[in-house]
Structure 1
Amino acid sequence: MKKILPILLVAISAALWGIIAIFVRGLDAFGFTSMEIVTIRVVTAAVLLGITGLVKYPAQMKIKWKDTWLFVGTGVCSIVLFNWCYFSSIQQMNLSLAVILLYTAPAFVTVLSWLFLKEKLNAAKLISVAGTILGCVLVAGSNLNETTSISAAGLLTGLGAGFGYALYTIFGKFALNKYSPFTVTLYTFIVASIALVPVTGLWNKGSILFSGEVMFYGLGLGLFPTVVAYLLYTKGLEKIDSCKASIIATVEPVVATLLGVFLYKEGFAFNQFIGSFFILLSVLLVNLPKNPLVKTQNEKASIT
Protein backbone atom coordinates (compact mmCIF):
# COMPACT_ATOMS: atom_id res chain seq x y z
CA MET A 1 0.00 0.00 0.00
CA LYS A 2 2.91 2.35 0.78
CA LYS A 3 4.15 1.97 -2.81
CA ILE A 4 0.72 2.51 -4.34
CA LEU A 5 -0.25 5.56 -2.23
CA PRO A 6 2.16 8.07 -3.87
CA ILE A 7 0.99 6.91 -7.32
CA LEU A 8 -2.64 7.42 -6.28
CA LEU A 9 -1.86 10.90 -4.89
CA VAL A 10 -0.27 12.00 -8.18
CA ALA A 11 -3.11 10.46 -10.21
CA ILE A 12 -5.79 12.19 -8.08
CA SER A 13 -3.94 15.51 -8.41
CA ALA A 14 -3.89 15.08 -12.20
CA ALA A 15 -7.61 14.30 -12.19
CA LEU A 16 -8.24 17.51 -10.22
CA TRP A 17 -6.18 19.50 -12.75
CA GLY A 18 -8.38 17.91 -15.40
CA ILE A 19 -11.54 19.55 -14.01
CA ILE A 20 -10.07 23.06 -14.12
CA ALA A 21 -12.22 23.96 -17.16
CA ILE A 22 -15.33 24.14 -14.95
CA PHE A 23 -13.92 27.10 -13.01
CA VAL A 24 -11.99 28.72 -15.85
CA ARG A 25 -15.06 28.82 -18.12
CA GLY A 26 -17.11 30.24 -15.27
CA LEU A 27 -14.66 33.12 -14.73
CA ASP A 28 -14.19 33.63 -18.46
CA ALA A 29 -17.93 34.32 -18.74
CA PHE A 30 -17.41 37.35 -16.48
CA GLY A 31 -14.80 38.83 -18.80
CA PHE A 32 -11.59 37.89 -17.01
CA THR A 33 -8.53 37.40 -19.24
CA SER A 34 -6.50 34.20 -19.13
CA MET A 35 -3.70 35.70 -17.04
CA GLU A 36 -6.21 37.35 -14.69
CA ILE A 37 -7.73 33.91 -14.10
CA VAL A 38 -4.26 32.51 -13.36
CA THR A 39 -3.74 35.36 -10.88
CA ILE A 40 -7.08 34.65 -9.19
CA ARG A 41 -6.00 31.03 -8.96
CA VAL A 42 -2.62 31.61 -7.33
CA VAL A 43 -3.75 34.42 -5.00
CA THR A 44 -6.75 32.41 -3.77
CA ALA A 45 -4.48 29.40 -3.24
CA ALA A 46 -1.92 31.50 -1.34
CA VAL A 47 -4.64 32.93 0.95
CA LEU A 48 -6.23 29.54 1.63
CA LEU A 49 -2.85 27.94 2.33
CA GLY A 50 -1.79 30.88 4.49
CA ILE A 51 -4.90 30.65 6.68
CA THR A 52 -4.49 26.85 6.95
CA GLY A 53 -0.84 27.28 7.92
CA LEU A 54 -1.55 29.87 10.61
CA VAL A 55 -4.29 27.73 12.15
CA LYS A 56 -2.86 24.23 11.78
CA TYR A 57 0.80 24.25 10.66
CA PRO A 58 2.50 27.38 12.07
CA ALA A 59 5.82 25.56 12.44
CA GLN A 60 5.79 24.70 8.72
CA MET A 61 5.51 28.34 7.64
CA LYS A 62 9.15 29.11 8.41
CA ILE A 63 11.79 29.06 5.68
CA LYS A 64 15.36 30.30 5.39
CA TRP A 65 15.98 33.29 3.13
CA LYS A 66 18.81 31.46 1.40
CA ASP A 67 16.25 28.88 0.19
CA THR A 68 14.01 31.46 -1.49
CA TRP A 69 15.44 30.48 -4.88
CA LEU A 70 13.65 27.13 -4.59
CA PHE A 71 10.26 28.84 -4.46
CA VAL A 72 11.20 31.31 -7.18
CA GLY A 73 11.82 28.11 -9.16
CA THR A 74 8.44 26.51 -8.39
CA GLY A 75 6.45 29.77 -8.31
CA VAL A 76 7.94 31.97 -11.05
CA CYS A 77 10.00 29.68 -13.29
CA SER A 78 7.25 27.04 -13.25
CA ILE A 79 3.76 28.39 -12.41
CA VAL A 80 4.14 31.87 -13.94
CA LEU A 81 6.35 30.84 -16.88
CA PHE A 82 4.32 27.86 -18.01
CA ASN A 83 1.01 29.72 -17.78
CA TRP A 84 2.36 32.73 -19.71
CA CYS A 85 3.94 30.51 -22.38
CA TYR A 86 0.85 28.31 -22.64
CA PHE A 87 -1.58 31.16 -23.10
CA SER A 88 0.79 32.87 -25.53
CA SER A 89 1.08 29.71 -27.63
CA ILE A 90 -2.71 29.36 -27.70
CA GLN A 91 -2.91 32.85 -29.21
CA GLN A 92 -0.36 32.00 -31.90
CA MET A 93 -1.35 28.52 -33.05
CA ASN A 94 -3.93 25.77 -33.13
CA LEU A 95 -5.14 24.89 -29.60
CA SER A 96 -4.51 21.18 -30.13
CA LEU A 97 -0.85 21.76 -30.98
CA ALA A 98 -0.46 24.03 -27.95
CA VAL A 99 -1.78 21.20 -25.74
CA ILE A 100 0.60 18.71 -27.35
CA LEU A 101 3.60 20.99 -26.80
CA LEU A 102 2.56 21.51 -23.15
CA TYR A 103 2.67 17.76 -22.62
CA THR A 104 6.25 17.48 -23.74
CA ALA A 105 6.80 18.05 -20.01
CA PRO A 106 7.51 14.35 -19.20
CA ALA A 107 10.34 14.38 -21.75
CA PHE A 108 11.83 17.51 -20.16
CA VAL A 109 11.45 16.00 -16.68
CA THR A 110 13.16 12.78 -17.77
CA VAL A 111 16.21 14.63 -19.12
CA LEU A 112 16.40 17.16 -16.27
CA SER A 113 16.00 14.44 -13.62
CA TRP A 114 18.86 12.50 -15.19
CA LEU A 115 21.06 15.61 -15.31
CA PHE A 116 20.31 17.22 -11.93
CA LEU A 117 18.66 14.59 -9.72
CA LYS A 118 20.78 11.66 -10.93
CA GLU A 119 17.69 9.53 -11.54
CA LYS A 120 18.35 6.52 -13.73
CA LEU A 121 17.08 6.26 -17.29
CA ASN A 122 15.64 2.93 -18.39
CA ALA A 123 13.69 1.54 -21.31
CA ALA A 124 10.36 1.63 -19.45
CA LYS A 125 10.70 5.37 -18.73
CA LEU A 126 11.70 6.24 -22.30
CA ILE A 127 8.91 4.14 -23.83
CA SER A 128 6.41 5.65 -21.38
CA VAL A 129 7.48 9.20 -22.27
CA ALA A 130 7.05 8.42 -25.98
CA GLY A 131 3.68 6.80 -25.26
CA THR A 132 2.36 9.78 -23.28
CA ILE A 133 3.40 12.26 -26.00
CA LEU A 134 1.77 10.10 -28.68
CA GLY A 135 -1.31 9.73 -26.50
CA CYS A 136 -1.56 13.49 -25.99
CA VAL A 137 -1.28 14.05 -29.76
CA LEU A 138 -4.24 11.73 -30.30
CA VAL A 139 -6.30 13.04 -27.35
CA ALA A 140 -5.82 16.63 -28.55
CA GLY A 141 -7.27 15.50 -31.88
CA SER A 142 -4.75 17.65 -33.71
CA ASN A 143 -5.55 18.23 -37.35
CA LEU A 144 -2.30 18.94 -39.17
CA ASN A 145 -4.19 20.78 -41.90
CA GLU A 146 -5.10 23.40 -39.31
CA THR A 147 -1.53 24.07 -38.23
CA THR A 148 -0.10 25.44 -41.47
CA SER A 149 0.48 28.91 -39.97
CA ILE A 150 2.80 27.76 -37.18
CA SER A 151 5.35 30.44 -36.26
CA ALA A 152 8.74 30.02 -34.63
CA ALA A 153 7.51 32.14 -31.71
CA GLY A 154 4.50 29.87 -31.29
CA LEU A 155 6.65 26.75 -31.21
CA LEU A 156 9.09 28.31 -28.74
CA THR A 157 6.36 29.44 -26.36
CA GLY A 158 4.64 26.06 -26.68
CA LEU A 159 7.84 24.23 -25.77
CA GLY A 160 8.42 26.84 -23.06
CA ALA A 161 5.08 25.83 -21.55
CA GLY A 162 6.18 22.19 -21.43
CA PHE A 163 9.55 23.19 -19.97
CA GLY A 164 7.96 25.45 -17.34
CA TYR A 165 5.45 22.74 -16.45
CA ALA A 166 8.36 20.33 -15.94
CA LEU A 167 10.28 22.70 -13.68
CA TYR A 168 7.79 22.33 -10.81
CA THR A 169 8.75 18.68 -10.52
CA ILE A 170 12.49 19.43 -10.60
CA PHE A 171 12.53 22.40 -8.20
CA GLY A 172 9.94 20.61 -6.07
CA LYS A 173 12.27 17.64 -5.61
CA PHE A 174 15.06 19.94 -4.37
CA ALA A 175 12.67 21.82 -2.06
CA LEU A 176 11.33 18.58 -0.57
CA ASN A 177 14.83 17.76 0.65
CA LYS A 178 14.45 20.63 3.14
CA TYR A 179 10.74 21.34 3.57
CA SER A 180 7.39 19.60 3.93
CA PRO A 181 4.94 19.34 1.00
CA PHE A 182 2.76 21.97 2.70
CA THR A 183 5.62 24.48 2.98
CA VAL A 184 6.67 23.93 -0.64
CA THR A 185 3.11 24.41 -1.91
CA LEU A 186 2.47 27.47 0.29
CA TYR A 187 5.55 29.42 -0.79
CA THR A 188 5.15 28.38 -4.42
CA PHE A 189 1.85 30.27 -4.56
CA ILE A 190 2.97 33.17 -2.39
CA VAL A 191 5.90 33.84 -4.75
CA ALA A 192 3.71 33.32 -7.84
CA SER A 193 1.17 35.81 -6.43
CA ILE A 194 3.86 38.43 -5.77
CA ALA A 195 5.01 38.06 -9.38
CA LEU A 196 1.57 38.11 -11.04
CA VAL A 197 -0.54 40.66 -9.16
CA PRO A 198 1.48 43.76 -10.20
CA VAL A 199 1.62 42.57 -13.83
CA THR A 200 -2.09 41.87 -14.27
CA GLY A 201 -3.45 44.78 -12.20
CA LEU A 202 -6.30 42.58 -11.04
CA TRP A 203 -7.42 45.19 -8.49
CA ASN A 204 -8.92 47.19 -11.38
CA LYS A 205 -11.74 44.63 -11.50
CA GLY A 206 -12.45 44.82 -7.79
CA SER A 207 -16.11 45.68 -8.42
CA ILE A 208 -16.87 42.21 -9.77
CA LEU A 209 -14.19 40.18 -7.97
CA PHE A 210 -16.29 39.92 -4.83
CA SER A 211 -19.64 39.14 -6.44
CA GLY A 212 -21.21 35.84 -5.44
CA GLU A 213 -20.64 33.79 -8.59
CA VAL A 214 -17.11 35.08 -9.17
CA MET A 215 -16.17 34.21 -5.59
CA PHE A 216 -17.70 30.75 -6.04
CA TYR A 217 -15.65 30.03 -9.16
CA GLY A 218 -12.55 31.75 -7.75
CA LEU A 219 -12.61 29.78 -4.48
CA GLY A 220 -13.33 26.56 -6.36
CA LEU A 221 -10.42 27.22 -8.72
CA GLY A 222 -8.08 28.06 -5.86
CA LEU A 223 -9.13 25.06 -3.76
CA PHE A 224 -9.68 21.93 -5.86
CA PRO A 225 -7.40 22.05 -8.95
CA THR A 226 -4.84 24.18 -7.11
CA VAL A 227 -4.40 23.80 -3.32
CA VAL A 228 -5.62 20.21 -3.03
CA ALA A 229 -4.08 19.13 -6.36
CA TYR A 230 -0.64 20.63 -5.71
CA LEU A 231 -0.53 19.37 -2.12
CA LEU A 232 -1.31 15.84 -3.29
CA TYR A 233 1.16 16.04 -6.19
CA THR A 234 3.94 17.41 -3.99
CA LYS A 235 3.26 14.76 -1.33
CA GLY A 236 3.38 12.01 -3.96
CA LEU A 237 6.56 13.50 -5.41
CA GLU A 238 8.29 12.81 -2.08
CA LYS A 239 8.19 9.07 -2.65
CA ILE A 240 8.50 8.48 -6.42
CA ASP A 241 10.84 9.44 -9.25
CA SER A 242 10.28 12.78 -10.94
CA CYS A 243 9.93 11.12 -14.33
CA LYS A 244 7.34 8.67 -13.06
CA ALA A 245 5.31 11.47 -11.42
CA SER A 246 5.25 13.55 -14.63
CA ILE A 247 4.09 10.56 -16.68
CA ILE A 248 1.30 9.73 -14.21
CA ALA A 249 0.22 13.39 -14.34
CA THR A 250 -0.61 13.03 -18.05
CA VAL A 251 -3.85 11.44 -16.85
CA GLU A 252 -4.98 15.10 -16.77
CA PRO A 253 -5.86 15.43 -20.50
CA VAL A 254 -7.78 12.14 -20.32
CA VAL A 255 -9.90 13.48 -17.45
CA ALA A 256 -10.33 16.83 -19.22
CA THR A 257 -11.50 15.05 -22.38
CA LEU A 258 -14.01 12.93 -20.45
CA LEU A 259 -15.24 16.06 -18.67
CA GLY A 260 -15.82 17.70 -22.05
CA VAL A 261 -17.79 14.68 -23.25
CA PHE A 262 -20.05 14.21 -20.22
CA LEU A 263 -20.45 17.77 -18.94
CA TYR A 264 -20.14 19.92 -22.07
CA LYS A 265 -21.44 17.35 -24.61
CA GLU A 266 -18.31 17.60 -26.72
CA GLY A 267 -17.47 14.89 -29.25
CA PHE A 268 -15.21 11.95 -28.46
CA ALA A 269 -13.47 10.66 -31.57
CA PHE A 270 -11.87 7.25 -32.00
CA ASN A 271 -8.37 8.79 -32.06
CA GLN A 272 -9.05 10.34 -28.62
CA PHE A 273 -10.02 6.91 -27.29
CA ILE A 274 -6.78 5.42 -28.64
CA GLY A 275 -4.80 8.38 -27.22
CA SER A 276 -6.32 7.88 -23.78
CA PHE A 277 -5.44 4.19 -24.01
CA PHE A 278 -1.79 5.04 -24.84
CA ILE A 279 -1.55 7.44 -21.89
CA LEU A 280 -3.01 4.98 -19.39
CA LEU A 281 -0.85 2.17 -20.79
CA SER A 282 2.24 4.36 -20.37
CA VAL A 283 1.29 5.11 -16.76
CA LEU A 284 0.90 1.39 -16.08
CA LEU A 285 4.21 0.57 -17.80
CA VAL A 286 6.25 3.04 -15.77
CA ASN A 287 4.72 1.66 -12.55
CA LEU A 288 5.31 -2.03 -13.22
CA PRO A 289 7.42 -3.72 -10.51
CA LYS A 290 11.07 -4.06 -11.46
CA ASN A 291 12.24 -7.56 -12.30
CA PRO A 292 9.46 -9.42 -10.45
CA LEU A 293 11.02 -12.81 -11.38
CA VAL A 294 14.37 -11.86 -9.85
CA LYS A 295 12.63 -10.56 -6.75
CA THR A 296 10.73 -13.84 -6.35
CA GLN A 297 13.90 -15.89 -6.76
CA ASN A 298 15.68 -13.74 -4.14
CA GLU A 299 12.81 -14.21 -1.71
CA LYS A 300 12.94 -18.00 -2.21
CA ALA A 301 16.68 -18.00 -1.68
CA SER A 302 16.36 -16.06 1.58
CA ILE A 303 13.76 -18.55 2.85
CA THR A 304 15.93 -21.58 2.08
Structure 2
Amino acid sequence: MAALKDRQAYIYVFLGAALWGIIGLFIDELSQAGFSALQIVTLRVVSASVMLVCYLALKNPKLLKIELKDALSFIGTGIFSIVFFNWAYFTAIEEVSLSVAVILLYTGPAFVVILSRIFFKEPMTSRKVGALLLTLFGCMLVIKVVPIGVEHISWYGILVGLGSGFGYALYSIFGKHALKKYKSLTIITYTFVFASLVMLPVSGVTIKSEQLASTHVWMHILGLGFFPTALAYYLYTSGLSMIESGRASIAATVEPVVATLLGVLVFNEILTFYQVIGILLVLVAVILVQIKRKRTVK
Protein backbone atom coordinates (compact mmCIF):
# COMPACT_ATOMS: atom_id res chain seq x y z
CA MET A 1 0.00 0.00 0.00
CA ALA A 2 2.84 2.37 0.91
CA ALA A 3 4.61 1.57 -2.38
CA LEU A 4 1.43 2.35 -4.33
CA LYS A 5 1.08 5.67 -2.51
CA ASP A 6 4.70 6.56 -3.28
CA ARG A 7 4.20 5.69 -6.94
CA GLN A 8 1.10 7.89 -7.06
CA ALA A 9 3.03 10.73 -5.40
CA TYR A 10 5.84 10.59 -7.97
CA ILE A 11 3.31 10.51 -10.82
CA TYR A 12 1.75 13.70 -9.43
CA VAL A 13 5.17 15.35 -9.10
CA PHE A 14 6.21 14.30 -12.61
CA LEU A 15 2.97 15.58 -14.15
CA GLY A 16 3.24 18.87 -12.23
CA ALA A 17 6.86 19.34 -13.32
CA ALA A 18 5.97 18.43 -16.91
CA LEU A 19 3.29 21.14 -16.90
CA TRP A 20 5.86 23.63 -15.56
CA GLY A 21 8.01 22.58 -18.50
CA ILE A 22 5.42 23.70 -21.10
CA ILE A 23 5.25 27.25 -19.73
CA GLY A 24 7.40 28.43 -22.63
CA LEU A 25 4.46 27.96 -25.01
CA PHE A 26 2.46 30.62 -23.18
CA ILE A 27 5.37 32.95 -22.35
CA ASP A 28 6.47 33.03 -25.99
CA GLU A 29 3.01 34.11 -27.19
CA LEU A 30 2.53 36.72 -24.45
CA SER A 31 6.02 38.13 -25.01
CA GLN A 32 5.19 38.57 -28.69
CA ALA A 33 2.01 40.36 -27.60
CA GLY A 34 4.17 42.98 -25.85
CA PHE A 35 4.10 41.89 -22.21
CA SER A 36 7.26 42.19 -20.10
CA ALA A 37 8.56 39.28 -18.00
CA LEU A 38 7.20 40.71 -14.73
CA GLN A 39 3.85 41.48 -16.36
CA ILE A 40 3.61 37.86 -17.48
CA VAL A 41 4.34 36.69 -13.91
CA THR A 42 1.56 39.02 -12.70
CA LEU A 43 -0.88 37.66 -15.27
CA ARG A 44 0.12 34.16 -14.25
CA VAL A 45 -0.49 34.48 -10.50
CA VAL A 46 -3.59 36.68 -10.81
CA SER A 47 -5.34 34.47 -13.37
CA ALA A 48 -4.52 31.38 -11.31
CA SER A 49 -5.81 32.94 -8.08
CA VAL A 50 -9.06 34.11 -9.71
CA MET A 51 -9.73 30.66 -11.21
CA LEU A 52 -8.93 28.87 -7.96
CA VAL A 53 -11.01 31.18 -5.74
CA CYS A 54 -14.00 30.93 -8.10
CA TYR A 55 -13.66 27.15 -8.31
CA LEU A 56 -13.52 26.67 -4.54
CA ALA A 57 -16.31 29.21 -3.92
CA LEU A 58 -18.62 27.16 -6.15
CA LYS A 59 -17.35 23.64 -5.43
CA ASN A 60 -16.25 23.62 -1.79
CA PRO A 61 -16.32 26.99 0.06
CA LYS A 62 -15.06 25.31 3.25
CA LEU A 63 -11.62 25.01 1.65
CA LEU A 64 -11.40 28.82 1.53
CA LYS A 65 -11.45 29.04 5.32
CA ILE A 66 -8.08 29.54 6.98
CA GLU A 67 -6.98 30.75 10.40
CA LEU A 68 -5.21 34.11 10.54
CA LYS A 69 -2.28 32.61 12.45
CA ASP A 70 -1.62 30.28 9.50
CA ALA A 71 -1.30 33.13 7.01
CA LEU A 72 2.50 33.00 7.42
CA SER A 73 2.59 29.67 5.59
CA PHE A 74 0.83 31.20 2.58
CA ILE A 75 2.93 34.35 2.75
CA GLY A 76 5.86 31.94 2.62
CA THR A 77 4.64 30.03 -0.44
CA GLY A 78 3.20 33.07 -2.22
CA ILE A 79 5.55 35.97 -1.43
CA PHE A 80 8.79 34.50 -0.08
CA SER A 81 8.74 31.77 -2.73
CA ILE A 82 6.70 32.64 -5.87
CA VAL A 83 7.27 36.42 -5.91
CA PHE A 84 10.84 36.39 -4.61
CA PHE A 85 12.16 33.58 -6.79
CA ASN A 86 10.59 35.10 -9.92
CA TRP A 87 12.19 38.49 -9.17
CA ALA A 88 15.55 36.87 -8.41
CA TYR A 89 15.33 34.62 -11.47
CA PHE A 90 14.61 37.45 -13.91
CA THR A 91 17.32 39.60 -12.30
CA ALA A 92 19.81 36.74 -12.66
CA ILE A 93 18.91 36.40 -16.36
CA GLU A 94 19.73 40.09 -16.85
CA GLU A 95 22.98 39.86 -14.85
CA VAL A 96 24.40 36.61 -16.20
CA SER A 97 22.59 34.59 -18.88
CA LEU A 98 19.47 32.46 -19.21
CA SER A 99 21.45 29.21 -19.10
CA VAL A 100 23.38 30.11 -15.95
CA ALA A 101 20.23 31.54 -14.33
CA VAL A 102 18.39 28.25 -14.92
CA ILE A 103 21.20 26.24 -13.33
CA LEU A 104 21.26 28.55 -10.30
CA LEU A 105 17.47 28.20 -10.03
CA TYR A 106 17.91 24.42 -9.97
CA THR A 107 20.08 24.58 -6.89
CA GLY A 108 16.59 24.62 -5.32
CA PRO A 109 16.46 20.86 -4.64
CA ALA A 110 19.75 21.09 -2.71
CA PHE A 111 18.26 23.84 -0.52
CA VAL A 112 15.12 21.71 -0.04
CA VAL A 113 17.15 18.70 1.11
CA ILE A 114 19.14 20.84 3.58
CA LEU A 115 16.11 22.75 4.92
CA SER A 116 14.04 19.56 5.15
CA ARG A 117 16.80 18.04 7.26
CA ILE A 118 16.69 21.04 9.60
CA PHE A 119 12.91 21.53 9.88
CA PHE A 120 11.40 18.10 9.18
CA LYS A 121 14.31 15.85 10.23
CA GLU A 122 14.29 14.17 6.82
CA PRO A 123 17.38 11.95 6.40
CA MET A 124 20.34 13.23 4.36
CA THR A 125 21.19 10.00 2.57
CA SER A 126 24.07 9.33 0.18
CA ARG A 127 21.45 8.43 -2.44
CA LYS A 128 19.89 11.89 -2.17
CA VAL A 129 23.27 13.62 -2.40
CA GLY A 130 24.18 11.51 -5.43
CA ALA A 131 20.85 12.29 -7.09
CA LEU A 132 21.36 16.01 -6.44
CA LEU A 133 24.79 15.96 -8.10
CA LEU A 134 23.42 14.02 -11.08
CA THR A 135 20.49 16.43 -11.56
CA LEU A 136 22.72 19.50 -11.31
CA PHE A 137 25.26 18.19 -13.83
CA GLY A 138 22.48 16.81 -16.02
CA CYS A 139 20.73 20.19 -16.10
CA MET A 140 24.03 21.88 -16.97
CA LEU A 141 24.34 19.58 -19.98
CA VAL A 142 20.70 20.04 -20.99
CA ILE A 143 20.88 23.83 -21.10
CA LYS A 144 24.39 23.83 -22.63
CA VAL A 145 26.37 25.44 -19.81
CA VAL A 146 28.69 22.44 -20.14
CA PRO A 147 30.82 21.91 -22.20
CA ILE A 148 30.57 25.49 -23.48
CA GLY A 149 31.03 27.25 -20.15
CA VAL A 150 31.17 31.00 -19.52
CA GLU A 151 34.11 33.40 -19.41
CA HIS A 152 32.79 36.13 -17.15
CA ILE A 153 30.02 35.98 -14.61
CA SER A 154 28.66 38.77 -12.41
CA TRP A 155 29.05 37.86 -8.75
CA TYR A 156 25.86 39.80 -8.03
CA GLY A 157 24.16 37.69 -10.69
CA ILE A 158 25.46 34.51 -9.04
CA LEU A 159 24.20 35.64 -5.62
CA VAL A 160 20.77 36.63 -6.92
CA GLY A 161 20.62 33.41 -8.95
CA LEU A 162 21.30 31.36 -5.82
CA GLY A 163 18.58 33.44 -4.17
CA SER A 164 16.17 32.27 -6.87
CA GLY A 165 17.06 28.67 -6.04
CA PHE A 166 16.50 29.36 -2.34
CA GLY A 167 13.15 31.02 -3.05
CA TYR A 168 12.18 28.12 -5.31
CA ALA A 169 12.96 25.74 -2.45
CA LEU A 170 10.83 27.65 0.05
CA TYR A 171 7.61 26.52 -1.65
CA SER A 172 8.34 22.90 -0.71
CA ILE A 173 9.23 23.89 2.87
CA PHE A 174 6.29 26.21 3.60
CA GLY A 175 3.99 23.99 1.54
CA LYS A 176 4.98 20.90 3.52
CA HIS A 177 4.27 22.76 6.75
CA ALA A 178 0.86 23.95 5.52
CA LEU A 179 -0.05 20.40 4.43
CA LYS A 180 -0.16 19.38 8.08
CA LYS A 181 -3.42 21.32 8.37
CA TYR A 182 -4.74 22.26 4.93
CA LYS A 183 -5.64 20.57 1.64
CA SER A 184 -3.55 21.09 -1.49
CA LEU A 185 -6.24 23.24 -3.15
CA THR A 186 -6.38 25.60 -0.16
CA ILE A 187 -2.60 25.96 -0.16
CA ILE A 188 -2.19 26.77 -3.84
CA THR A 189 -5.20 29.11 -3.81
CA TYR A 190 -3.82 31.28 -1.03
CA THR A 191 -0.31 30.98 -2.45
CA PHE A 192 -1.45 32.79 -5.60
CA VAL A 193 -3.78 35.16 -3.74
CA PHE A 194 -0.89 36.45 -1.61
CA ALA A 195 1.42 36.52 -4.64
CA SER A 196 -1.19 38.57 -6.52
CA LEU A 197 -1.44 41.09 -3.68
CA VAL A 198 2.24 41.89 -4.20
CA MET A 199 2.53 41.55 -7.98
CA LEU A 200 -0.51 43.65 -8.93
CA PRO A 201 0.78 46.90 -7.38
CA VAL A 202 4.32 46.21 -8.67
CA SER A 203 3.69 45.47 -12.33
CA GLY A 204 -0.03 44.90 -12.80
CA VAL A 205 -0.71 48.65 -13.00
CA THR A 206 1.60 48.91 -16.02
CA ILE A 207 -0.55 46.57 -18.12
CA LYS A 208 -2.52 48.62 -20.65
CA SER A 209 -6.12 47.82 -21.57
CA GLU A 210 -5.29 47.56 -25.27
CA GLN A 211 -2.87 44.72 -24.47
CA LEU A 212 -5.85 42.73 -23.19
CA ALA A 213 -8.17 43.44 -26.14
CA SER A 214 -7.34 40.24 -28.07
CA THR A 215 -9.17 36.94 -27.59
CA HIS A 216 -5.91 35.20 -28.55
CA VAL A 217 -4.12 36.94 -25.67
CA TRP A 218 -6.84 35.98 -23.20
CA MET A 219 -6.68 32.34 -24.25
CA HIS A 220 -2.96 32.30 -23.47
CA ILE A 221 -3.43 34.18 -20.18
CA LEU A 222 -6.03 31.64 -19.04
CA GLY A 223 -3.91 28.76 -20.34
CA LEU A 224 -0.89 30.13 -18.45
CA GLY A 225 -2.92 30.50 -15.26
CA PHE A 226 -4.38 27.01 -15.47
CA PHE A 227 -1.97 24.46 -16.99
CA PRO A 228 1.59 25.39 -15.84
CA THR A 229 0.33 27.21 -12.74
CA ALA A 230 -2.88 26.16 -10.94
CA LEU A 231 -2.93 22.55 -12.18
CA ALA A 232 0.86 22.11 -12.04
CA TYR A 233 1.15 23.40 -8.46
CA TYR A 234 -1.89 21.35 -7.40
CA LEU A 235 -0.29 18.16 -8.72
CA TYR A 236 3.11 18.96 -7.21
CA THR A 237 1.59 19.89 -3.83
CA SER A 238 -0.52 16.72 -3.84
CA GLY A 239 2.62 14.67 -4.46
CA LEU A 240 4.47 16.64 -1.79
CA SER A 241 1.82 15.60 0.73
CA MET A 242 2.77 11.93 0.26
CA ILE A 243 6.58 11.90 0.05
CA GLU A 244 9.59 13.72 1.54
CA SER A 245 10.19 17.31 0.38
CA GLY A 246 13.71 16.47 -0.78
CA ARG A 247 12.59 13.56 -2.93
CA ALA A 248 9.76 15.59 -4.47
CA SER A 249 12.02 18.51 -5.37
CA ILE A 250 14.62 16.23 -6.99
CA ALA A 251 11.91 14.42 -8.98
CA ALA A 252 10.61 17.80 -10.19
CA THR A 253 13.89 18.45 -12.02
CA VAL A 254 12.32 16.71 -15.02
CA GLU A 255 10.95 20.20 -15.79
CA PRO A 256 13.96 21.42 -17.85
CA VAL A 257 14.01 18.05 -19.62
CA VAL A 258 10.38 18.54 -20.69
CA ALA A 259 11.10 22.15 -21.67
CA THR A 260 14.04 21.02 -23.82
CA LEU A 261 12.03 18.25 -25.51
CA LEU A 262 9.25 20.77 -26.13
CA GLY A 263 11.77 23.03 -27.85
CA VAL A 264 12.74 20.14 -30.12
CA LEU A 265 9.17 19.09 -30.94
CA VAL A 266 7.50 22.51 -31.21
CA PHE A 267 10.24 25.04 -31.99
CA ASN A 268 12.38 22.70 -34.13
CA GLU A 269 15.44 23.05 -31.91
CA ILE A 270 18.24 20.51 -32.41
CA LEU A 271 19.02 18.18 -29.52
CA THR A 272 22.79 17.74 -29.09
CA PHE A 273 24.64 14.66 -27.86
CA TYR A 274 25.46 16.39 -24.55
CA GLN A 275 21.81 17.33 -24.03
CA VAL A 276 20.78 13.70 -24.52
CA ILE A 277 23.36 12.66 -21.91
CA GLY A 278 22.05 15.40 -19.58
CA ILE A 279 18.47 14.19 -19.98
CA LEU A 280 19.53 10.62 -19.20
CA LEU A 281 21.43 11.78 -16.07
CA VAL A 282 18.37 13.64 -14.78
CA LEU A 283 16.15 10.60 -15.40
CA VAL A 284 18.65 8.31 -13.65
CA ALA A 285 18.69 10.70 -10.66
CA VAL A 286 14.89 10.75 -10.54
CA ILE A 287 14.82 6.92 -10.54
CA LEU A 288 17.61 6.80 -7.96
CA VAL A 289 15.78 9.04 -5.51
CA GLN A 290 12.69 6.79 -5.67
CA ILE A 291 14.59 3.66 -4.63
CA LYS A 292 14.37 3.05 -0.92
CA ARG A 293 17.08 1.16 0.92
CA LYS A 294 15.84 -2.26 1.98
CA ARG A 295 16.09 -2.95 5.67
CA THR A 296 17.81 -6.17 6.65
CA VAL A 297 16.03 -8.31 9.21
CA LYS A 298 18.29 -9.68 11.90
- 1:284 corresponds in structure 2 to 287
One of 11, 14, 24 as aligned partner of 1:11: 14
Shift of 1:144: 6.9
Q: State the TM-score, normalizing by the size of structure 2.
A: 0.96
Does the 8 Å contact 1:85/1:157 carry over to 2?
Answer: yes
One of 99, 103, 128 as aligned partner of 2:102: 99
**What is the DSSP-based 3-state SS (H/G/I as helix, E as strand, rest coil) of the residue aligned with 1:150?**
coil
**Residue 118 (structure 1) aligned with residue 118 (structure 2):** no
List aligned pairs for 1:1-304, cutoff 5 A. Answer: 1-142=4-145, 147-202=150-205, 204-291=207-294, 294=296
Shift of 1:210: 4.0
Which stretches of structure 1, 4 residues or more, deviate above 4 A after TM superposition?
A: 143-146
Shift of 1:3: 2.2
Which structure has the bigger radius of gyration? 1
> Distance between the aligned counterparts of 2:146 and 2:284, measured in 1?
24
- 1:301 corresponds in structure 2 to none
The unaligned stretches of length 5 or more in structure 1 are 299-304
Q: Percent identity?
A: 48
**What is the DSSP-based 3-state SS (H/G/I as helix, E as strand, rest coil) of the residue aligned with 1:3?**
helix
- Greater displacement, 176-185 / 144-153: 144-153
**What is the DSSP-based 3-state SS (H/G/I as helix, E as strand, rest coil) of the residue aligned with 1:44?**
helix
Cα-Cα RMSD: 1.4
The unaligned stretches of length 5 or more in structure 2 are none
> Distance between the aligned counterparts of 2:200 and 2:39, measured in 1?
9
> Distance between the aligned counterparts of 2:204 and 2:178, measured in 1?
30
Does the 8 Å contact 1:36/1:202 carry over to 2?
Answer: no
Shift of 1:270: 0.7
Q: State the TM-score, normalizing by the size of structure 1.
A: 0.94
Question: Deviations for 1:187-219, whole angstroms, at most 9, x for unmatched residues?
Answer: 000000001000003464122224201101100
Does the 8 Å contact 2:48/2:230 carry over to 1?
Answer: yes
Query: How many residues are aligned here?
Result: 295
> Distance between the aligned counterparts of 2:131 and 2:146, measured in 1?
24
